[in-house]
């Protein structure tokens, strides 16, 4: 099949030749009309083929490249099916026994821009983030069915008018998944993101190893992922705090599922207030807030938010205690995050050491040519 051509302006092809998958509107000579697949072939000013991508007319990133190739490539159903199957084979090698939920497709990190697929047992939850991927929904659904997933749920972004719902047979709203042998109840429909924060799997496991005999405070706990790992690691008591009542109910349910109710307490509250007012001390504190900054303009305000919670945590951590602190804002770089935490440490007047520098799990790979994919930053701090 022949796709319409998108021509890049002279001098604007450099980042593409280095495999960065985004084309900004200013780099394009003219945008071609496309059919329902929104797919174009991309050429440089001398008409040399660069690759294939999805057009998104209303976005600043007008095209996202899914295939870099100097030679014509057939992009048809078998192309997509093969790509999803390859992602599955690759991810399966990374996922250990005792885990049946993982990220099967991580957009640019899996060379499938605009597409996120998280799997939970027999159910796959998809986020279509671009028109081009939305138009592929039948093909994606068939590929997932052929991999053995029975139910497929589409969670589309709020700004789109694409259907949110089951693609085909309706599955149950809740499913209980296993992660490193622990049980978690996931609300596939009403839960945040696709239902569970799969990107923290490795970090939760690390936390477990530090939890023995510790009194733990899990801030922005969502459904208690870190809390359950702390409990299995031998924490004496864990408090989960989240602004969402539903999340806290789910955290309580997860404590029950793993038989840890006696040592767990869930509180629905704003963590900024909660932390500021606290005087009680903890041995281990987790700070995993939502992305405070959605664009580059909100970086200063977001930085103040991160500093605020980190400073509060440093005030109530026991001597020799640990803080697991995270930022999942794409626009807060690793370097900036460490500077913000440095600011909090300096204001607290306490001695602080970095024990670990953390990132997202390997099922959320970072395409080296797309550094924007390095979104989850974490530090494990020892506070003296």
Q: Provide the binding-site residues for ligand SAH, judged by CB under 6 A.
A: 192, 197, 200, 220-223, 225-226, 242-244, 247, 270-272, 288-290
In the complex with ligand SAH, which residue's Cβ is closer, 136 or 311?
311
In the complex with ligand SAH, which residue's Cβ is closer, 40 or 247?
247
Q: Are the beta carbons of 346 and 379 closer than 8 angstroms? A: no
Closest CB to ligand SAH: residue number: 225
How far apart are CB 267 and ligand SAH at their closest, in Å?
A: 10
Where do we find the tokens 């009309």? 33
Q: Are the beta carbons of 4 and 41 closer than 8 angstroms? A: yes
Q: Cα(48)–Cα(186) distance, rounded to whole angstroms?
A: 48
Partners of 128 in the β-ladder? 115
In the complex with ligand SAH, which residue's Cβ is closer, 39 or 207?
207
How far apart are CB 355 and ligand SAH at their closest, in Å?
A: 19
How far apart are CB 124 and ligand SAH at their closest, in Å?
A: 19
Q: Are the beta carbons of 41 and 52 closer than 8 angstroms? A: yes
Q: Which parts of 237-380 fold into alpha helices (H)?
A: 245-257, 271-277, 299-316, 334-348
Strands 237-242 and 215-219: parallel
In the complex with ligand SAH, which residue's Cβ is closer, 6 or 125?
125
How far apart are CB 223 and ligand SAH at their closest, in Å?
A: 6
Q: Are the beta carbons of 305 and 296 closer than 8 angstroms? A: no
How far apart are CB 108 and ligand SAH at their closest, in Å?
A: 22
Write the CB contacts of 121 (distance below 8 Å, at least 6 apart in sequence): 100, 101, 175, 176, 177
Classified as helix, coil or strand, 305 is helix
In the complex with ligand SAH, which residue's Cβ is closer, 40 or 287?
287
How far apart are CB 366 and ligand SAH at their closest, in Å?
A: 19
Q: Are the beta carbons of 215 and 243 closer than 8 angstroms? A: no
In the complex with ligand SAH, which residue's Cβ is closer, 27 or 302?
302
In the complex with ligand SAH, which residue's Cβ is closer, 130 or 240?
240
Q: Cα(118)–Cα(113) distance, rounded to whole angstroms?
A: 15
How far apart are CB 157 and ligand SAH at their closest, in Å?
A: 17
Measured in whole angstroms, the distance separating CA 346 from the mean position of its chain's CA atoms is 30
How far apart are CB 220 and ligand SAH at their closest, in Å?
A: 4
**Ranges assigned E (strand) in 4-114:** 5-8, 22-24, 28-30, 39-43, 49-55, 61-68, 101-106
How far apart are CB 328 and ligand SAH at their closest, in Å?
A: 8
For the chain, state the CA radius of gyration. 22
In the complex with ligand SAH, which residue's Cβ is closer, 121 or 194?
194
Strands 49-55 and 123-128: unpaired
Q: Cα(337)–Cα(357) distance, rounded to whole angstroms?
A: 11
In the complex with ligand SAH, which residue's Cβ is closer, 12 or 276?
276
């Amino acid at each position: 099949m022949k796709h319409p051509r998108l021509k890049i302006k002279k001098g604007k092809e450099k980042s593409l030749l280095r495999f960065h998958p985004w084309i900004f509107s200013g780099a394009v000579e003219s945008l071609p009309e496309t059919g329902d697949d929104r797919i174009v072939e991309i050429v440089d000013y001398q008409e040399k083929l660069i690759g294939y991508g999805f057009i998104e007319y209303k976005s600043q990133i007008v095209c996202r490249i899914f295939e870099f190739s100097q030679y014509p490539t057939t992009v048809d159903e078998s192309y997509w099916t093969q790509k999803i199957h390859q992602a599955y084979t690759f991810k399966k090698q990374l996922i250990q026994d005792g885990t049946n939920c993982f990220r099967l497709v991580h957009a640019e990190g899996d060379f499938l821009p605009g597409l996120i697929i998280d799997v939970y047992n027999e159910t796959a939850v998809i986020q279509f983030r671009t028109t081009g991927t939305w138009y592929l929904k039948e093909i994606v659904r068939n590929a997932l069915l052929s991999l053995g997933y029975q139910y497929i749920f589409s969670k589309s972004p709020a700004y789109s008018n694409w259907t949110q719902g089951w693609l085909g047979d309706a599955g149950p709203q809740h499913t209980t998944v296993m992660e490193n042998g622990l049980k978690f109840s996931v609300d596939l429909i009403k839960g945040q993101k696709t239902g569970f924060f799969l990107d923290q799997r490795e970090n939760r496991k690390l936390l477990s190893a530090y939890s023995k005999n510790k009194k733990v405070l899990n801030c922005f706990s969502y459904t208690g992922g870190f809390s359950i790992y702390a409990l299995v690691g031998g924490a004496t008591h864990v408090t989960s705090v989240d602004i969402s009542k539903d999340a806290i109910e789910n955290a309580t349910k997860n404590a029950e599922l793993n038989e840890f109710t006696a040592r767990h307490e869930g509180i629905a509250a704003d963590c900024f207030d909660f932390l500021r007012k606290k005087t009680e001390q903890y041995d281990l504190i987790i700070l995993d807030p939502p992305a405070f900054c959605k664009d580059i303009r909100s970086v200063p305000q977001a930085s103040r938010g991160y500093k605020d919670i980190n400073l509060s945590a440093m005030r109530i951590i026991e001597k020799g205690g640990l803080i697991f602190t995270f930022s999942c804002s794409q626009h807060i770089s690793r370097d900036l995050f460490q500077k913000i935490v440095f600011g909090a440490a300096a204001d607290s007047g306490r001695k602080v050491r970095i024990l670990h520098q953390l990132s997202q799990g390997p099922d959320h790979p970072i395409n080296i040519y797309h550094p924007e994919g390095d979104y989850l930053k974490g530090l494990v701090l020892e506070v003296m």
